[in-house]
C-alpha cells in the first residue's frame, strides 16, 4: 500500500505565526488568556495550555492580565474594551484576515452595503463584520433577501472559502440582484493558502482510493477539505487522531491519500502516516500467515 501526502497540507502561515506570537507572549509575560482557540484543533489547544495559554470566551473571564486575539481576528471594540479593563493585548490576527477587516471598514465608510460570503457565526466573519458598524452581513445563499439602501454593494469572502465557490457565489448574486444596485465592488479575500490545499486535495483524490483528512471536527476548512475529497468520489474519512483509523478501511487499498486542514499540526499528520505504515505492515504479515503453506515433500 502506498501512502501519499497532499502537496500542500496542514498549518498555514497565519496559524504558524499566531502560535509563535502567543507562545512568545506567554514566555515574556507568563500565563495569558486567548480569546477563543488559537486554532480549531484540540491537540494544539492542549499543547498551548501546557505552555500557559488558556482559552477564554470573553474579556470578563480573563485572569492573567494579558489577552491574545487569535489569527481569526476581532473587532475594534475588543481593543477598546481591553484597554478600558487595563489588559495587555497581544494581536495574532493573520495579516490576510487583517486585510479583509481593513477592506470592510473602508467599504462601509464609502457607503457600500457589505456582503460577506461566509458563515455568520464563524469567528473570522464575526470579526470582519465587527469593523462594519452594523452595515455588513454574512450569507451563504446568494439569493438571500438583502436590504441595499444606497444601491452600492461590495462582496467579500470568508478567507477559507475556495476561489471557485466565491466566483460561483458572485455570479449567482449578480444574476439574482441585478437592477437592485448601481455599483458593485468585488474584493477577492479568499486565502491563497487555503485554495492551494483544496487544489492539492483534488489532485490527491484523483490518485488515491482512500483519503484520510486529519484535523479538528470544529475546523471549517478541514470539514470542507473532507467534502472536497468525498465530492471527487473517493471514500473519505475525517479523523482528528491516528487512533481513529479503522484497519478495515485499508483492506484492498493501493494508494491511501493523507491531507490536513490549515489548523492541523505536523505531529498529527506524521502520527497518521506512521499508523498507516504500521497497519500496512500488520496487514501484510497477517496475509503471509494465512497463505496456504506448500505441502512438505515426501521423503
Ligand atoms: S487560512 Fe489563510 S487567512 Fe486563515 S489564518 Fe491561514 S493564512 Fe491566514
Quick: pLDDT tens for 68-97: 999 999 999 999 999 999 999 999 999 999
179 and 151 in contact (C-beta within 8 Å)? no
Evaluate whether residue 296 is within a structural domain.
no
Q: What's the CA gap between 269 and 275, in Å, rounded?
A: 10
Evaluate whether residue 295 is within a structural domain.
no
Which residue owns the Cα nearest ligand 1 atom 2?
191
Evaluate whether residue 165 is within a structural domain.
yes
Q: Which is higher by pLDDT, 287 or 215?
A: 215
Radius of gyration of the chain (CA): 23
Q: Tell whether 151 and 176 lie within a shared domain.
A: yes
The mean pLDDT of 238-243, rounded to a whole number, is: 96
Q: Tell whether 198 and 116 lie within a shared domain.
A: no
| pLDDT band, residue 8 (cuts 50/70/90) | very high
Q: Tell whether 42 and 58 lie within a shared domain.
A: yes
The mean pLDDT of 21-45, rounded to a whole number, is: 91
Picking from 79, 94, 109, the residue at the C-terminal end of a domain is: 94
Evaluate whether residue 298 is within a structural domain.
no
Picking from 94, 110, 142, the residue at the C-terminal end of a domain is: 94
Q: Tell whether 150 and 165 lie within a shared domain.
A: yes
State yes or no: is 124 an active-site residue: yes
Mean pLDDT of the chain: 93
Ligand 1 atom nearest to 194, measured from its CA:
1
Q: Ligand 1 centroid vs 18 CA: distance in angstroms?
A: 10
Q: Tell whether 121 and 107 lie within a shared domain.
A: yes
Residue with cell 445563499: 141
Q: Tell whether 78 and 115 lie within a shared domain.
A: no
Evaluate whether residue 44 is within a structural domain.
yes
- Tell whether pTM > 0.75: yes
Give the CATH number of the domain where residue 215 resides. 3.40.1010.20
Three-state SS letters, 169-232: HHHHHHHHHCCCCCEEEECCCCCHHHHHHHHHHHHHHHHCCEEEEECCCCCHHHHHHHHHHHHC
- Residues enclosing ligand 1, CB less than 6 A? 12-15, 71, 94, 96-97, 159-160, 191, 193-194, 262
Probe target for ligand 1 pocket from 262, 263, 264, 265, with the most ligand atoms within 8 Å of CB: 262
Give the CATH number of the domain where residue 46 resides. 3.40.50.11270
Q: Is the pLDDT of residue 260 over 60?
A: yes
- Which own/partner contact pairs does 269-278 have at CB distance under 8 Å and 24+ positions apart? 269/5, 269/9, 269/10, 269/214, 271/241, 271/242, 272/212, 272/214, 272/239, 272/241, 272/242, 272/245, 273/3, 273/5, 274/242, 275/242, 275/243, 275/245, 276/1, 276/3, 276/212, 276/245, 276/250, 277/3
Q: Which residues contact 5 (CB under 8 A, 6 or more apart)?
A: 257, 258, 259, 269, 273
Picking from 38, 71, 94, the residue at the C-terminal end of a domain is: 94
Evaluate whether residue 26 is within a structural domain.
yes
Q: Tell whether 143 and 121 lie within a shared domain.
A: yes
**Number of domain units in the chain:** 3
For 174-215, what is each residue's pLDDT tens digit?
Answer: 999 999 999 999 999 999 998 899 999 999 999 999 999 999
Q: Is the pLDDT of residue 293 over 90?
A: no
Which residues constitute the domain of residue 267?
2-9+192-289
Q: What's the CA gap between 266 and 11, in Å, rounded?
A: 7
Which residue owns the Cα nearest ligand 1 atom 7?
14
Q: Tell whether 172 and 208 lie within a shared domain.
A: no
23, 27, 124, 235: which is the annotated catalytic residue? 124
Q: Tell whether 125 and 61 lie within a shared domain.
A: no
pLDDT at site 25:
96
pLDDT at site 114:
97
Probe target for ligand 1 pocket from 159, 222, 223, 263, with the most ligand atoms within 8 Å of CB: 159
Evaluate whether residue 102 is within a structural domain.
yes
Report CA dihedral (168, 121, 49, 216) to the nearest 10 degrees.
-40
Q: Ligand 1 centroid vs 190 CA: distance in angstroms?
A: 9
pLDDT at site 295:
66
Q: Tell whether 20 and 54 lie within a shared domain.
A: yes
Evaluate whether residue 77 is within a structural domain.
yes
Sheet holding 113-117, edge to edge: 136-139, 113-117, 152-157, 183-186
Q: Tell whether 196 and 285 lie within a shared domain.
A: yes
Q: Tell whether 138 and 161 lie within a shared domain.
A: yes
Amino acid at each position: 500500500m502506498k501512502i501519499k501526502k497532499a502537496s500542500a497540507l496542514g498549518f498555514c502561515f497565519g496559524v504558524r505565526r499566531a502560535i509563535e506570537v502567543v507562545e512568545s507572549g506567554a514566555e515574556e509575560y507568563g500565563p495569558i488568556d486567548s480569546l477563543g482557540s488559537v486554532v480549531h484543533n484540540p491537540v494544539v489547544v492542549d499543547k498551548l495550555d501546557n505552555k500557559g495559554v488558556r482559552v477564554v470566551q470573553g474579556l470578563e473571564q480573563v485572569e492573567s492580565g494579558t489577552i491574545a486575539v487569535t489569527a481569526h481576528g476581532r473587532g475594534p471594540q475588543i481593543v477598546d474594551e481591553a484597554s478600558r479593563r487595563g489588559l495587555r493585548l497581544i494581536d495574532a490576527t493573520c495579516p490576510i484576515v487583517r486585510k479583509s477587516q481593513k477592506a470592510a471598514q473602508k467599504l462601509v465608510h464609502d457607503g457600500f452595503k457589505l456582503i460577506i460570503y461566509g458563515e455568520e457565526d464563524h469567528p473570522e466573519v464575526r470579526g470582519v463584520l465587527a469593523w462594519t458598524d452594523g452595515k455588513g452581513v454574512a450569507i451563504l445563499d446568494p439569493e438571500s433577501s438583502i436590504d441595499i439602501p444606497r444601491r452600492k454593494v461590495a462582496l467579500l469572502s470568508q478567507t477559507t472559502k475556495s476561489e471557485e465557490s466565491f466566483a460561483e457565489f458572485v455570479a449567482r448574486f449578480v444574476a439574482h440582484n441585478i437592477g437592485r444596485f448601481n455599483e458593485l465592488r468585488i474584493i477577492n479575500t479568499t486565502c491563497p493558502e487555503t485554495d492551494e490545499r483544496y487544489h492539492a486535495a483534488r489532485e490527491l483524490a484523483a490518485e488515491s482510493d482512500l483519503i484520510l483528512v486529519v484535523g479538528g471536527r470544529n475546523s471549517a476548512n478541514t470539514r470542507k477539505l473532507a467534502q472536497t475529497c468525498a465530492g471527487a468520489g473517493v471514500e473519505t474519512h475525517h479523523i482528528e487522531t491516528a487512533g481513529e483509523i479503522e484497519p478495515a478501511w485499508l483492506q484492498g487499498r493501493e494508494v491511501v491519500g493523507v491531507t490536513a486542514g490549515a489548523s492541523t499540526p505536523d505531529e498529527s499528520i506524521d502520527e497518521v502516516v506512521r499508523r498507516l505504515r504500521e497497519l500496512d505492515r500488520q496487514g501484510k504479515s497477517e496475509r503471509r500467515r494465512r497463505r496456504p503453506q506448500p505441502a512438505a515433500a515426501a521423503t
